[in-house]
Every structure is written in structure tokens, then in C-alpha cells.
């Protein structure tokens, strides 16, 4: 039987009320394979959609049987079942299962939904002694995101009302999926409903029939508390989470993470997070701090003068956004701001009249450079941390996704040219050279993929996840990995040399015209290696991890560090020329253009410095930390921010 409990209360019990047998066909379309689960209200089946003859498309068929003889009761049950279907049909979020069909046969109603191959959190807790803290944190952020999406539905918010481990699926790609919307409802202020939910996870006000969006925040906190401490709230006295501090049960949980969860669990609503977006921002701060950074994440509501784009993708700012410039420059407004549906962590790319950017909303967005309007978007099944690479020869844009795939998409139409699947998440940005796409994957390999047809030419095993963007010369491919190795690989896929740093290498290498390879490590050093043999000629120490990839110009090397400094050093000997302190860690890579250095900081600012002396010329405030690199597109400077927005700023000559 498939390892899934897609619907709560329908675990793995056998069902004496199942009406559909294996290999039977319902509605002349769905061939029943097996029972996924069953409960008092009906049965869920795994089925094949026969409308797709060339591929095996699996779906979940949820059957509701109105066993009562009371016509009014049966009508009410069917009405509620249809309400769930209609609720799901209007939603479009990667964490919410899609609905495909609804129909009735005799006294039974059927809902056909996306089949989720995975395991719920309750089962995961039963199978594991302890879940990795970083994974729980990632899932918590994703759950905040989907709840925030529900709470911001128009005209009325949707309250889930039953957040608990058994209603959170982790699919085969490791992504969160929220299941069972059977008791979700729209929220109308000051209107009470019945007490419904699950004891132990429900907020105090929910017991009084007064569920609201903050009730979901409490239930999320209760779910996370259970996962982190393994103390089931259904077995404890109600509302006693304060008597069971998280760190007392699990010393691996950081104080900051515990404080976020415990704030969500406050009995008084005024003491909880006001919104899931607010909670998500604090969780993002925790994630950044656990990676070695101490970052001030913005509270909802930007400071005066900060950009305030509307909630519509592609919309211009509701009020003009300006540079916070130095005395040397006047006020400049961005030409446009395009808002995606989630964080932008990767850099944009541009080709002719289009700009391309990936978002953690799982989409690659193509935006018209002239107007900032949407040209098209291409959906994947995972967040996108890989920056797009442009291949003008084939007119494709190539990028990776956390759904394990490398995609090549037609620049003009957004149609998929080919897809190449790896065995891990792709957070590496591809490099296109020699009609080949070179890219790293979390499955430890660097791949060479034929640009013409998407077929693998070779794969080199680095021994650890590869997050760097390979640098390609006429003879070598150079890449780093999380084990700390930097490897020079021949064009045929064989190792020529390797160099070991002390910690993970997440920054991408850069090779100058003199044959020097520069690469930073999370051990805090920038290394200069001979591209031919990997010999180290010098190394430069910072006081923080280096995630920022270097750029070189006129014998000077520029890069950032989590010690909050942007460094300019002599590329020949590694001696410091100047440094600029941005007060918060610098993760993104710098860009040099016409004597100026542009870079983003986790303090939410985009900076412009004089490349020669490091003096600040201006800064531009966004609504979130910047981990991407700026890109020049014609007369525009493109920068993405974790506030979900891609900004197009006019370059002033």
C-alpha cells in the first residue's frame, strides 16, 4: 500500500464500507488501484486517470458515503463535501493539493484530487527518533507561507482550523503539502461558529467557536512543539505548553527557534504573532542565523521611504520608490517593480527585451524589460534558488529547481524545450559553454548536459552537495562542494586537480584572464589557485564565512563576507586595498559596471560604491534581505529581494 495518509482520520484501517474494488473504473475515467485510507465518513482510493493513455497519471479519489437515511442530513453532508471541493478549486498554491474533478453516483460523492506520494508528520515522528532541526525549520517556514496565503484570500480569509502533524504531508521531494480541508472555512469577523478542531492543537478561543487566523498560528505552534519535543499535546493538560519548554526536551533546538514557536503558543491572542507573515519573517531570521549569519529581518511594514509594491504580480509600486542617495546624486525612482509570490533568493538574467527571475513560489518569471509586465511564467514543483542562464544560440533559458530538475525553456514562449532530472535538489546556477550546460546538484554530482537535447554527457561525483556555479574555461570546469573541495574537471569529465578548504564551499569560482582561480569558503578565506594545477598562491582571511562569489576588474578582486564587509584586494598578492562595512552580513555577489561596484546586503539595501576607493555613492532600500547579485540589462540594473520583488533601477551615466 502506498506510504501516504493524504486525508486525516483515514489512516491505514481496513474499511468495511469501501464500495470500489481494485481494477474497477468509476465515471468511465478513474481505474481504482488500491485503498489509501478509510474512516467513518468514507474511503480514499489510489486511482489511475485513464484519460492519459501515454503516461501513468495517478490521482486520489475521495469517496463520501452518506450512509444516513435522513434526507436532510444526507443533503447537508453532500453540501459540505461540495463546499470543500469549491474551496480547494479556488486555491493555487504549491503546498495545497490540486482538485481535478467532482461528481456524484447514487448516494455517494467523489472528489478527485492530486495524489501526494509522501508521509505525514505524525508517521515521520513514529519512524524517526528525531527529525533534523533544519528540515523542521524549513517546513515551518513553508507552513507559515501557505497559511498566510489562505489568510489573505479575498473577499474573506480562509481559516484552516485543523493544523496538526497528521494534516501535514511531506512529499517525495521533501516539500510540505497541507491536506484535509474538510473543516476549513472562510472567516467573518465577529461571527462565531461551532467548536471544531483537534483537542490539544486548537487555540483557546477555538473552543468557544471563535476561530480566526491567529487560531491557525496557535495550532501551527502546537504542531511544531509536538514535532520538536515529541510530547503529544492530546495527552497533556490543555494550554500547558508554557510548562514544557522546548529546549528542556530537545537541546538541539536553538533558543531563537524555540522563542518563535513559544510566541505562537501564547494563550492571549494579543501576545501571539499578528500574522503568519510576521512569524515567517522571524523563522527566516532563525534560518539565516543558524547558517552562520546574524541578520535583522524586517518587521511587516517597511520604514518611511521604503518601497511598497502592490500585491499583484507585475504591478508597479503603489508609491514611488527612491534611492537613499549620497550628496552626489539626486533622487531616482525605479522604472518598475515586479512582485512574485515568494522570496527571490537568486539573481535575475536578461536577454534582449526580457528579464528572467526564479522565485521560491516555484515559478520562473519572464518580465518585459520596457514595462515590467509579465510575459509568461513557467511553473516547477519546487522552490527556485538557481539563477537562470541564457543561451542565445538556442534561444532558451536554463535553470534548476528544488524539484531535482534542470529545465530549458524557450525564451519567447515559456514552453519547455527539455528537462533533465538529477537525484537531488538543484540550487546551483548552470553555466552554458561549448553547447553544454554544466550544473551541480545536491546529489553530489556536477553534470554536463547536451544543450541540444537535454541528455547527460557525463557526471562527476564531488562527494558532497554542489551549490556553486561551475566556471568553464577552454579546458576545465571548476566547481566547489559542501565538503570543502574545489575540483578542476576536464571537458571529458575526469578530475585534473583538487584543492581542499577547511569548510563548505558555497561561493562560485571566478577565473581571470591570467589563469588565476579565485574562490571563497565558509572557513572565512578567499583563495587564489592556479587554474592549471590547483596550487594555492595566496589566501585572504575575513572574519566571517564567504558565500559571495568574487569578481575581478583591473587587477582588483571584490567580494563580500558575513563579517559585514565588502572587500577590495589586490588580485596578484591578496593584499587589502579597502573595505566597506554594510553593518549586516553580505551574502550576494557584487557586480562591477563602469567604475562602480553594486551589491546587496542582508540589511535590505542595494549599495553603489566607487570601485577605486570604496566610497558610497548611494543606497537603495528594499523590503527584505538581498542574497542575489545585481544584473545589468541595457540601461537597467535588476536586483531581486527576499521581499518577493524584482526591482528595475535606471542606470545613471
CA distance to 80, 196, 224, per residue, from 161 (Å): 15, 7, 16
Cα angle 188-193-195, degrees, rounded to a multiple of 5: 135
- The single residue listed with the C-alpha cell 527584505 is 624
Q: Which residues contact 360 (CB under 8 A, 6 or more apart)?
A: 342, 343, 344, 345, 383, 384, 385
Q: In 3D, which of 497, 420, 418, 509 has the Cα closest to residue 457?
A: 420
Q: Is the dihedral of CA 317, 322, 323, 324 positive or negative?
A: negative
Classify residue 184 by its DSSP letter.
-
Cell matching residue 168: 501535514
Given strand 556-560, what is the order of strands in its sheet?
551-553, 556-560, 565-570, 576-581
Q: Which residues contact 441 (CB under 8 A, 6 or more apart)?
A: 400, 404, 422, 423, 424, 425, 426, 428, 447, 465, 466
Q: Is the dihedral of CA 534, 538, 543, 549 positive or negative?
A: negative
Instruction: Tell me how far apart the alpha carbons of residues 510 and 487 are, in angstroms, rounded to a whole number.
Output: 13
Q: Is 162 a catalytic residue?
A: yes
Given strand 363-368, what is the order of strands in its sheet?
349-351, 354-358, 363-368, 374-379
| DSSP SS3 for 445 | strand
Instruction: Tell me how far apart the alpha carbons of residues 308 and 130 are, in angstroms, rounded to a whole number.
Output: 41
Instruction: Tell me how far apart the alpha carbons of residues 253 and 290 are, in angstroms, rounded to a whole number.
Output: 10
Cell matching residue 137: 525549520
Segment 550-553 long-range contacts (CB within 8 Å, at least 24 positions apart): 550/507, 550/510, 550/518, 550/519, 550/520, 550/526, 550/589, 551/510, 551/589, 551/590, 551/591, 551/592, 552/510, 552/512, 552/518, 553/592, 553/611
Spatial contact of 584 and 607, defined as CB atoms under 8 Å apart = no
Q: In 3D, which of 377, 335, 337 has the Cα closest to residue 359?
A: 377
Bridge partners of 168? 178
Which residue among the candidates 120, 145, 148, 162 is catalytic per the annotation?
162
Classify residue 458 by its DSSP letter.
E
Cell matching residue 577: 586595498
Q: In 3D, which of 494, 543, 550, 555 has the Cα closest to residue 527?
A: 550
Instruction: Tell me how far apart the alpha carbons of residues 445 and 458 are, in angstroms, rounded to a whole number.
Output: 10
Instruction: Tell me how far apart the alpha carbons of residues 463 and 471 are, in angstroms, rounded to a whole number.
Output: 19
Bridge partners of 596? 593, 610
- Which residues have a catalytic role annotated? 162
Amino acid at each position: 500500500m502506498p506510504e501516504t495518509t493524504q486525508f486525516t482520520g483515514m489512516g491505514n484501517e481496513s474499511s468495511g464500507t469501501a464500495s470500489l474494488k481494485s481494477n474497477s473504473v468509476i465515471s468511465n475515467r478513474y481505474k481504482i488501484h488500491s485503498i489509501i485510507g478509510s474512516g467513518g465518513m468514507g474511503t480514499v482510493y489510489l486511482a489511475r486517470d485513464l484519460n492519459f493513455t501515454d503516461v501513468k497519471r495517478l490521482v486520489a479519489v475521495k469517496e463520501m458515503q452518506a450512509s444516513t437515511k435522513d434526507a436532510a442530513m444526507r443533503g447537508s453532508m453532500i453540501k459540505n463535501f461540495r463546499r470543500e471541493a469549491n474551496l480547494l478549486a479556488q486555491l493555487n498554491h504549491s503546498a495545497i493539493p490540486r482538485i481535478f474533478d467532482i461528481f456524484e453516483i447514487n448516494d455517494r460523492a467523489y472528489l478527485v484530487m492530486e495524489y501526494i506520494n509522501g508521509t505525514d508528520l505524525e508517521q515521520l515522528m513514529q519512524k524517526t527518533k528525531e527529525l533534523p532541526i533544519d528540515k523542521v525549520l524549513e517546513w515551518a517556514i513553508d507552513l507559515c507561507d501557505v497559511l498566510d496565503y489562505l489568510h489573505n484570500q479575498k473577499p474573506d480569509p480562509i481559516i484552516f482550523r485543523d493544523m496538526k502533524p497528521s494534516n501535514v504531508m511531506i512529499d517525495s521531494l521533501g516539500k510540505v503539502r497541507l491536506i484535509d480541508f474538510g473543516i476549513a472555512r472562510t472567516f467573518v469577523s465577529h461571527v462565531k461558529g461551532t467548536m471544531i478542531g483537534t483537542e490539544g492543537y486548537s487555540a483557546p478561543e477555538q473552543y468557544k467557536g471563535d476561530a480566526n487566523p491567529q487560531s491557525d498560528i496557535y495550532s501551527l505552534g502546537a504542531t511544531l512543539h509536538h514535532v520538536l519535543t515529541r510530547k503529544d499535546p492530546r495527552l497533556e493538560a490543555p494550554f500547558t505548553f508554557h510548562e514544557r519548554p522546548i529546549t528542556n526536551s530537545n537541546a538541539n533546538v536553538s533558543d531563537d527557534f524555540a522563542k518563535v514557536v513559544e510566541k505562537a503558543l501564547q494563550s492571549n491572542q494579543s501576545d501571539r504573532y499578528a500574522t503568519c507573515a510576521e512569524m515567517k519573517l522571524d523563522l527566516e531570521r532563525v534560518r539565516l542565523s543558524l547558517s552562520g549569519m546574524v541578520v535583522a529581518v524586517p518587521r511587516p511594514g517597511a520604514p518611511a521611504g521604503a518601497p511598497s509594491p502592490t500585491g499583484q504580480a507585475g504591478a508597479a509600486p503603489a508609491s514611488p520608490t527612491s534611492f537613499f542617495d549620497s550628496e552626489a546624486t539626486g533622487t531616482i525612482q525605479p522604472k518598475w517593480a515586479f512582485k512574485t509570490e515568494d522570496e527571490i533568493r537568486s539573481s535575475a538574467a536578461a536577454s534582449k527585451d526580457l528579464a528572467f527571475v526564479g522565485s521560491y513560489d516555484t515559478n520562473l518569471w519572464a518580465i518585459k524589460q520596457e514595462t515590467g509586465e509579465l510575459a509568461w511564467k513557467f511553473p516547477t514543483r519546487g522552490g527556485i534558488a538557481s539563477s537562470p542562464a541564457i543561451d542565445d544560440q538556442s534561444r532558451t533559458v536554463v535553470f534548476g529547481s528544488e524539484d531535482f530538475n534542470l529545465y530549458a525553456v524557450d525564451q519567447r514562449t515559456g514552453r519547455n524545450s527539455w528537462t533533465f532530472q538529477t537525484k537531488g535538489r538543484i540550487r546551483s546556477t548552470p553555466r552554458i559553454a561549448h553547447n553544454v550546460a554544466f550544473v551541480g546538484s545536491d546529489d553530489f554530482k556536477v553534470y554536463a548536459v547536451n544543450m541540444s537535447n537535454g541528455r547527460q554527457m557525463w557526471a562527476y561525483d564531488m562527494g558532497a552537495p554542489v551549490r556553486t556555479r561551475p566556471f568553464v574555461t577552454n579546458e576545465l570546469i571548476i566547481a566547489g562542494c559542501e565538503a570543502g573541495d574545489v575540483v578542476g574537471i576536464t571537458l571529458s569529465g575526469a578530475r585534473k586537480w583538487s584543492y581542499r578548504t577547511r569548510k563548505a564551499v558555497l561561493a562560485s569560482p571566478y577565473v581571470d584572464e591570467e589563469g588565476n582561480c579565485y574562490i571563497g569558503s565558509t572557513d572565512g578565506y578567499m583563495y587564489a589557485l592556479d587554474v592549471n594545477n590547483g596550487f594555492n598562491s595566496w589566501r585572504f582571511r575575513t572574519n566571517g564565512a564567504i558565500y559571495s562569489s568574487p569578481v575581478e576588474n583591473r587587477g582588483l578582486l571584490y567580494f563580500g563576507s558575513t563579517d559585514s564587509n565588502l572587500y577590495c584586494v589586490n588580485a596578484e598578492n591578496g593584499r587589502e586595498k579597502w573595505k566597506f562595512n554594510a553593518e549586516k552580513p553580505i551574502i550576494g555577489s557584487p557586480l562591477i559596471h563602469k567604475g562602480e561596484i553594486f551589491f546587496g546586503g542582508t540589511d535590505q539595501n542595494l549599495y553603489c560604491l566607487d570601485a577605486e576607493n570604496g566610497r558610497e555613492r548611494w543606497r537603495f532600500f528594499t523590503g527584505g534581505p538581498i542574497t542575489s547579485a545585481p544584473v545589468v540589462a541595457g540601461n537597467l540594473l535588476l536586483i531581486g529581494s527576499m521581499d518577493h520583488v524584482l526591482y528595475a533601477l535606471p542606470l545613471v551615466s
